[in-house]
Structure 1
């Protein structure tokens, strides 16, 4: 009886708390999330509320995430029939009028619904006085004004940063940020930059898909700033970022950058072309050596290769009403192509002599090109320094008030564009580094190593296919017969070698001594041993004339 007569303890009112930090400065000056949560827990304990859940938003969260968590809290409150929301101040709860109707509707639904603004000492509910509702609107308006002003200042700072040639955010992999706040710049990361360079060069070779490149770069040590693997989508974004050749991309616009480029613009544009046309190779389990190499001579279509009982066969697919019906074995084609490779690159001293001539000619032309290039670079550097002086001069004039802001902006855009054009030309001269000479060296290298590349069993199918595309132009098949033509450098080498071989046979036939010894016969003591070959001395001797 006594137990029944005891008064039941009143149930605690359920509540939810909402904490938010909007900047690192606030977190460092006592407004951290743990500090806010402690304040709200202490308040609910003193008030006798049962705190069901604390919703927290970190300073790094963007506006979309903040609103998502706010609406998540409101749904939680409605679902669990919670009447009290506890928050530190008005601007911690909301900073825009878009959320005000949601809060107002919830408060007006039930007289028990309350919002406790702890530091303001205010409790807002349905029956609050008019001046309390007015102050609530004023505080929301003030918070919204503050956030808009802050946004304008941030955008102004970003615009100024871009005008100075610096990206107003973290740079991509391959760069690092140095300097104090307000004076930060981006410099090359000596450890990661070479890996980024290799990534662009590999993709520009058109031998790698983005997925395969992702795996290769992971094996080469490419990691994100957190030390984790860089995945395919991130690799794709890095390959599309013009920051690497010296420009800044911000909100869809590209502006000149002051940072040092990692790659040349030509390499970046080559990568974009491959990505745009989706010409990166697709790898399959069955990969024929001559896939995509031969055309049908009759209809011009590609020869298709199929694996039948462990052997590769090539045939025309008759896309254009072609009459070709012959299927040819890959090993037969392989043997014939090997002969063509050997004809252009025979392994004897004739090749060494011929390639030596080519190398000497390249060196002579290289010396002339060096002089021309040095003069062009010197002139471009002079123009670049002149554009820098112009930019400095108009900036000083703007500071001193001698020119208007409009005039400054117009001339700045003009001089900056000129500077960018000069820099592009300068980079082309420096980065190209006499490409015709490098191509000549590449021809020499291929000519020397073609036999080894084609015969080496450890070489990949892609390596051999690349060699064939380098040596031959538009090879075709007609009824099982191959027709090939050498590309420009190698047709000269092939033709010259054929001439040398023909000349060598002719010399042997004309100047080689007879196999049988000459029958000299008997001769006098002072007679000629070979009277046919040696002329007798003239009996009418004449004095020798001096010249």
Structure 2
């Protein structure tokens, strides 16, 4: 008797699509199995997109099949199993070698024959085409919105996304709250009071808690309220209406700078302005304490850092400069890579540079061939128009379509020449810092150098008690999390390459 595994999947990005919920799929498939006398050994459910390989439960199912615990799969449709060529290929390969003897779908016919496997491969390809086409359409829509000066994501606080025009419009109720927040800050100079004010008006953050101070600050400094917005590393002039007067916005920015820039009373302290207080969000300042030692009849100076407490009551205490240095060194040493890896990384990086140069050249050549193909289409179209075989209106329409396609290809070539291999430089800088980190953390470097190095590997430093935390920049988390098992060169490199490709894709490359 064939042993079936029921596999149900619904991606989080399909929440609004007409796809059965996991619970509904399970119920339907159980009923299907019962009516067709199928022996089910296991039910596997997964909430993850299938557009990329690497689904844990899907791979677990294939492992069970490989071990002989099951030899058939029951799923709602073929696209529940795979929307990418890798996973689809695994299913078909298992059919070829007999590890899988049957697939059943209530919404799709399959027979374990050459014709059936051919139809299955088409179904998998359709799933992949759907994902690729959807992704390209979304990117194209975002690019068009940016050209029109429309913010392409969820509307900022005080605005809303119009359900019909998809433009950003003013939310009459929330915009008044935002205006009041700006005025309140100008008068009270307190992020905490704004958070309380919004909570009293039933505006909360995640899990029903008051908005955190970082989000309050982000709102008060958001240039979207001045008609500008920042997306994917570029500034754009927005076409949305503004409801915050420029004078009010500028005054608030000035007050925020005063609060966040600690006074040093004539002294220069290396770590002021590096971190913010975890409790209240205010800046961290420094001061010198003088201590007299009676036994040796001498006076010593010690530097301490503390919260400025400018945003309200705060219970955080002092931290000595030595302890703060130790925390910074801990953060730096956490991203250090073994020097024994350096020669291999350098060799792999040089290979990547050569490969990237070759890929850019090949892509450029392919795009140029596409341009020639479009020119050939225009030539044939013109010949047909001159000979009278093509109607003038059709000729104009088709010629415009070809012209637009040529423009898109030309844009891709321009972006490729400008951005091709762009990930190599930041990745090389990451490598240099990661291999230098151990020396920086170990030796007694000057405080300014320690601060500069810390800011190069992390951002958003938060001080709580004697503990300093940070958000590591691109690459460092991956390198640190995987270095215990193996050299994470390829996993880290792929992050930079993906970022470059994503940024290029947003520009049409």
Higher relative contact order (Cα pairs below 8 Å, separated by 6+ residues) = 2
TM-score, normalised relative to structure 1: 0.40
**Structure of larger gyration radius:** 1
